Amino acid sequence: MTEPGGDKLRSEIVGRLTALGRISIPDDIARRHLAMIESVDLMPAPVAVAERRWTRKIAVGAAFFTGLMTGGMGLAAAGALPDSAQAVAHSALHAVGVDVPKAHPDRSTDGCNGGTFANHGQFVSSQPKGDRSAAAQSDCGKPVQATTPPSTPDDSSVTKPDHPSTPNSGDDNPGDVKGKSGDHAKDGDNADNKGDDNSNASTHRQDGLTNTNTTRSAKSAASTAHTTTGTSHADVNGGGLLSHAHHGES
């Protein structure tokens, strides 16, 4: 069935096919694409709690992309990249290629007494029954991002009651109610919040592409913020953290 010389011919064909995928991208095309990437807002959605991780991902992403585009470091070495791409390439090209961000965030070890726990719940469960309140207050096992709250001085006045031992009846101070997690599901507030999420997403995106994904990302980002911080919506979606993350990268 196999004709004479068939294997040799096949090897040659495979070699030619492989070579087709190794033709380097011309510099002018790479430069044009990099400029296009540069003009696009890389921040995908409003994210506050995962600020550090996002910043790192963007840095790695930009560097990674530079490597992808050029197929090497020629443009960066020649200083021929657009300014910001060149700066990124200069500072972070060592991350190109394999250094993709980890799937899971780092966990805090504060208060773990030397132990290692996959999450906060595991740590609390490991403590003796009846004496878990202190463990529950600890940061052990929580995502690192959740244990380093944003440095907004007004947060404490909204989210932390002065007397935690006194149960809040919920009918005396409507302003407090809004700061609690779990109240976001209430009728009108929920609708308002959803609207806010979508509008945030649409204002942060400048390109008009992949709108569905953007909305989903914004929602998931907002829900992440709810579960990990427990602070109010206004604080989580504030623009200051976003701009900080973005400026930190550039």
Give backbone dihedrals phi and psi of 168, rounded to 5 degrees, phi first. -85, 120
Which DSSP state fits 37? H
State which of residues 74, 79, 97, 240 lies at the interface with another protein (CB under 8 A): 97
Name the residue among 46, 50, 54 with its Cα closest to residue 204: 46
Residue with tokens 């204002």: 203
In this structure, what DSSP letter does residue 21 have?
T
Range in contact with another protein (rule: CB under 8 A) among 7-15, 87-95, 114-122, 177-185: 7-15
Specify the residue, 72 or 115, whose C-beta has the smaller distance to another protein.
72
For the chain, the maximum distance between any two Cα atoms, rounded to a whole number of angstroms, is 91
For residue 198, give Cα distances in angstroms to 204, 227, 235. Answer: 10, 19, 17
* 168 touching another protein, by CB under 8 A: no
- CB under 8 A: which stretch of 20-28, 149-157, 185-193, 242-250 binds another protein? 20-28
Binding mask 100-119 for another protein (x = CB under 8 A): xxxx----------------
SS3 14: helix
First to last CA, the chain: 61
Q: Is 163 among the residues that bind another protein (CB under 8 A)?
A: no
- The residue range among 93-101, 106-114, 186-194, 226-234 that interacts with another protein, by the rule CB under 8 A, is 93-101
Q: Angle at the Cα of 85 (from 83 to 86), degrees rounded to 5?
A: 65
Q: Is 57 in the site for another protein (CB under 8 A)?
A: yes
Task: Give the binding range for another protein (CB under 8 A) out of 18-26, 131-139, 187-195, 232-240.
Answer: 18-26
Question: What residues line the site for another protein (CB under 8 A)?
Answer: 3, 6, 9-10, 13-14, 16-26, 28-30, 32-33, 36-37, 40, 42, 44, 54, 57, 60-62, 64-65, 68-71, 97-98, 100-103, 209-210, 213, 217
